């Protein structure tokens, strides 16, 4: 018995080492992503924007034609730049990405992805080793949920990249968030590896909580895209109004490289719409587990209430997307409110509110 306990403690210790190692590599990936954005800002995107701005400020003369010349000097025709998307169309091209179309920026971006893959492998190893140390699902408390949640979020991002989706722009905010999440997990939420209370010894732990983690990780990607959509949409609006306040140099350098507002909005909608049925099943599975554990399907426990509020928020978001006058920014605000409800359901309810789901502490 003591030998088994020692082996379990060894596995738990190895899990901690793997998580800390993953954090170190994630930090290197974060720096590489930063380098990608920094060197991408010196790309032809910035030079083209500067040239167009200077050309716009020049006195209007006879319309120049490509290849035409006055006195033998060729003058390039200024291209028509469409800046504001029309509903139902994609008239704004996507930006070139974080690398800004430069070889050096792209190199750092590839290094960042490689480091993220390595960090994720160490991260997953830490989660699996934690599970082996107690021979159960590795999400019995807030520490385990946080580490697993971060691993799933990165895994979904890498899966999208493997499917050749152009989502490298998520890399920097994702790695930043993962570092914050893991830092909070190992410093504030850490709980020693141990067995669970009897109420959690059920196969529904694997089903219900795993669905909650996958749903939350996908909703996080949708929330990042929604937030960036709001910034990009505001940026495109300023460009479409030459008489208004124009975006600054830093905003132009960053936002000009993102996908168009229409693309970001579409990505967020597809993610949220795809994962919404899974979140619905998560609540249903939780109700079935509650009946098996406590003898009732629904008892208005704070965790149950906020899970339902989150469901209602995303249901309103999806409904708003199909309602005239609520598309775009208004629907985006509902999406962010929905994810805020998810976060409160996890952090706020678990830490500040007492209920039947408080048996595991942090």
Task: Indicate the pLDDT class of residue 171, thresholds 50, 70 and 90.
Answer: very high
State how far the Cα of 359 lies from the Cα of 196, in Å rounded to an integer: 9
Q: What is the pLDDT of residues 184-222, one digit of tens each?
A: 999 999 888 777 766 677 788 889 999 999 999 999 999
- Mean pLDDT, residues 177-181: 96
- Average pLDDT of the chain? 83
Q: What is the pLDDT of residues 23-64, one digit of tens each?
A: 999 999 999 999 999 998 765 554 454 444 444 444 544 444
Per-residue confidence (pLDDT) for residue 44, from 0 to 100: 52
Q: Which residue, chain included where needed, has tokens 């979904």?
A: 156
Per-residue confidence (pLDDT) for residue 22, from 0 to 100: 97
State how far the Cα of 350 lies from the Cα of 247, in Å rounded to an integer: 41
Most confident of the following: 30-39, 245-254, 317-326? 30-39
Which of the residue ranges 38-47, 103-112, 163-172, 256-265 would you say has the lowest mean pLDDT? 38-47
* Residue 306 and residue 232 in contact, taking contact as beta carbons nearer than 8 Å: no
Task: Assign 3-class secondary structure to 72-131.
Answer: CEECCCCCCCCCCCCCCCCCCCCCCCCCCCCHHHHHHHHHHHHHHHHHHHHHHHHHHHHH
For the full predicted model, state whether its pTM sits above 0.85. no
Is the confidence at residue 114, as pLDDT, over 90?
yes
* Residue 44 and residue 97 in contact, taking contact as beta carbons nearer than 8 Å: no
* Residue 32 and residue 112 in contact, taking contact as beta carbons nearer than 8 Å: yes
All residues at 6 or more sequence positions from 156 whose CB lies less than 8 Å from its CB, including other chains: 217, 218, 221
- Mean pLDDT, residues 15-20: 96
User: Is the model more confident about 6 or about 115?
Assistant: 115
Largest CA distance in the chain: 95
SS3 call for 296: coil
SS3 call for 181: helix
* Residue 146 and residue 181 in contact, taking contact as beta carbons nearer than 8 Å: yes
Task: Indicate the pLDDT class of residue 355, thresholds 50, 70 and 90.
Answer: low
């Amino acid at each position: 018995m003591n030998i088994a306990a020692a082996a379990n403690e060894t596995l738990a210790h190895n899990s901690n080492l793997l998580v800390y190692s993953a954090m170190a590599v994630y930090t290197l990936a974060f720096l590489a992503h930063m380098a990608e954005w920094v060197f991408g800002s010196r790309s032809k995107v910035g030079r083209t924007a500067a040239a167009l701005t200077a050309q716009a400020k020049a006195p209007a003369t006879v319309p120049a034609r490509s290849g035409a010349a006055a006195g033998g000097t060729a003058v390039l025709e200024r291209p028509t730049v469409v800046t504001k998307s029309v509903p139902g169309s994609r008239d704004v091209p996507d930006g070139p990405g974080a690398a800004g179309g430069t070889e050096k920026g792209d190199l750092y971006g590839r290094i960042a992805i490689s480091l993220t893959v390595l960090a994720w492998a160490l991260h997953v190893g830490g989660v699996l080793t934690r599970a082996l140390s107690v021979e159960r699902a590795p999400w019995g408390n807030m520490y385990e949920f946080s580490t697993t949640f971060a691993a799933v979020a990165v895994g979904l991002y890498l899966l999208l990249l493997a499917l050749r989706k152009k989502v490298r722009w998520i890399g920097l905010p994702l790695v930043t968030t993962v570092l914050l999440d893991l830092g909070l997990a190992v410093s504030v939420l850490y709980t020693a590896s141990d067995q669970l209370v009897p109420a959690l010894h059920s196969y529904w732990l694997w089903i219900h909580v795993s669905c909650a983690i996958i749903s939350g990780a996908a909703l996080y990607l949708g929330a990042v895209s929604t937030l960036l959509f709001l910034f990009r949409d505001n940026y495109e609006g300023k460009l479409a109004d030459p008489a208004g306040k124009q975006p600054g140099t830093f905003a132009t350098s960053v936002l000009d490289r993102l996908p168009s507002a229409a693309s970001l909005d579409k990505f967020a909608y597809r993610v949220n719409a795809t994962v919404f049925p899974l979140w619905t099943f998560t609540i249903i599975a939780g109700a079935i587990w509650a009946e098996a554990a406590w003898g009732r399907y629904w008892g208005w426990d704070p965790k149950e209430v906020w899970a339902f509020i989150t469901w209602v928020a995303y249901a309103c978001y999806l409904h708003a997307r199909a309602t005239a006058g609520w598309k775009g920014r208004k629907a985006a605000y509902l999406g962010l409110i929905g994810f805020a409800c998810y976060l409160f359901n996890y952090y706020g309810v678990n830490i500040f509110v007492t209920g039947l789901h408080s048996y595991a502490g942090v």
